[in-house]
Amino acid sequence: MTPIDLVVTVCAVLSPTTCEETHLVFSSNVSLRQCTMAAQPYIAQWVAEHPKWTAVKWRCEYPRNNQKAFQDAVWSAG
């Protein structure tokens, strides 16, 4: 399985202009486009576990060697 970064932009529920990117590791044998399309249930789970935040957009990308994305969760899809 190839790790894919699921990069989710989340904003605070009580302050919608306070936003940040959260990196989740999405392990799967899918393309970046398929990851983006399949990400909604995983984002919903993250939001349910972090009720002070709401997801506003997301994208999938391959991890960069020089990027240290923190790992909130590892999901296996497929």
SS3 readout for 7-73: EEEEEECCCCCCEEEEEEEEEECCCHHHHHHHCHHHHHHHHHHCCCEEEEEEEEECCCCCCCCCCCC
Instruction: Indicate the pTM of the whole model.
Output: 0.74
Q: Give domain limits for the chain.
A: 2-62
Burial of 60 (0-12, 13-18, 19+ CB in 10 A): buried
**pLDDT by 10s per residue, the chain, length 78:** 678 899 999 999 999 999 999 998 877 678 888 888 889 999 999 999 999 999 999 999 988 754 444 444 444 333
